[in-house]
Amino acid sequence: MHDQAQGLRNLVRRAQAQGQAAGRGTRILTVTSGKGGVGKSNFTLNFALALQRKGFKTLVFDADIGLANIDVLMGVSSQLSLYHLLKREKTIWDIVQTGHEGLLFIAGGSGFNDLIRLTEEQLDEFAEQVNELSGKVDFIIFDTGAGLSKETLKFIVAAQETIVVTTPEPTSITDAYAIVKMVHAMQSDVRFRLVVNRTADIAEGRHTADKIRMVAKKFLQLDIPVLGYVADDPHVSKAVKQQVPFTVAYPHCEAARSIERLASDFIAGQPPDESGEGAVKGFLNKMMRLFRP
């Protein structure tokens, strides 16, 4: 009985994955926060791995300006990064690396600093190269830098969906709201979702999310759904020190179980309406407009 149900679930999952790769194309998400150090990179990496385990080919793009560290969390020393692509020394497929469980990622290096000062020609090249990923993966997830830098905001605005990570600390909550407010002011159709990281229990997660949701509703008339809560768990720090993603090093720890649940809910949710041109093209077109010198 159990085997049959499992088999069916796998079948549905595979069909969903194939449907997504063939029909809907690539979905682009950004993960961001107001305050730094709230767990964005750990969330991004482990959430991406969870999607991958559910049959969705996922690529993590380290877009943290200056402080790139997805490769460090993966324990991979990367010689090649976005920098080489921007310098036109390498193609996108040269700089895509494979991490744990076949997860694809692009290291940030110092490349994103350069993106700010790109010439029009380099920007075209960048778009052309990133467009290569369209249809080849189900998800591209950008781990953005914390804070309200202009570049980070442009990135978030260009993508269709953004996951805002906060912790229950008041400073993190205030800054999470600040970033929502700024993105909302730049472009009102970005889809936000909230993740509360490092929660003591569900009640704390709910309480934290309610605070942000209430102000967003009141002052921006914006409904921000909660994607989920991730437990505060000492295994996360342990895994970081080992340079292995925590869902790989400690798959049964509380934080890992939170991530798995959250990824299931994410997949079960409604994907955003896609514009006719496709998500990657749409993203790149918006990015070109926003970054053009």
Ligand X SMILES: Nc1ncnc2c1ncn2[C@@H]1O[C@H](COP(=O)(O)OP(=O)(O)OP(=O)(O)O)[C@@H](O)[C@H]1O
> Which residues in the 23-52 window bind Mg ion by CB under 5 A?
40-41
For 157, counting Cβ atoms within 10 Å of its Cβ (0-12 exposed, 13-18 middle, 19+ buried), the class is: buried
* Binding partner of 38, given Mg ion, ligand X, none, CB within 5-8 angstroms per partner class: ligand X
**Beta-bridge partners for 228:** 195
247 part of the interface to ligand X, by CB under 6 A: no
Please report the DSSP string for 151-196 in residue order: HHHHHHHHSSEEEEEE-SSHHHHHHHHHHHHHHHHH-TTPEEEEEE
49 part of the interface to ligand X, by CB under 6 A: no
The β-bridge relationship of strands 161-166 and 104-106 is unpaired
Among 71, 138, 161, 232, binds ligand X (CB under 6 A): 232
Among 11, 12, 67, 185, binds ligand X (CB under 6 A): 67
Residue with smaller CB distance to ligand X, 37 or 269: 37
Residue with smaller CB distance to ligand X, 95 or 230: 230
> Which residues in the 265-284 window bind ligand X by CB under 6 A?
none
Residue 162, CA atoms < 13 Å, CB-side half-sphere: 30
Site string for ligand X, 153-172 (x = CB under 6 A): --------------------
Residue with smaller CB distance to Mg ion, 20 or 197: 197
Number of H helices, E strands in the chain: 14, 8
Among 17, 65, 82, 146, binds ligand X (CB under 6 A): 146
CB 58 within 8 A of CB 94: no
State the angle between helix axes of 40-53 and 254-268 in degrees (0 to 180), rounded to the nearest 10.
Answer: 60
The first and second tokens of residue 178, run together, are 């600040």
* Binding partner of 240, given Mg ion, ligand X, none, CB within 5-8 angstroms per partner class: ligand X
| 3-class DSSP assignment, residue 213 | helix
Q: How far is the CB of 69 from ligand X (least distance, A)?
A: 6
What is the C-alpha separation between 104 and 133, in angstroms, rounded? 11
Q: How far is the CB of 120 from Mg ion (least distance, A)?
A: 30
Q: Which residue is nearest to Mg ion (CB)?
A: 41
Among 8, 12, 19, 36, binds ligand X (CB under 6 A): 36
What is the C-alpha separation between 194 and 227, in angstroms, rounded? 5
Residue with smaller CB distance to ligand X, 36 or 170: 36
- Single out the residue of 97, 126, 129, 127 nearest to residue 111, CA to CA: 126
* Residues of this chain that bind ligand X (CB under 6 A): 33, 36-42, 64, 67, 146, 197-198, 230, 232-233, 236-237, 240, 255
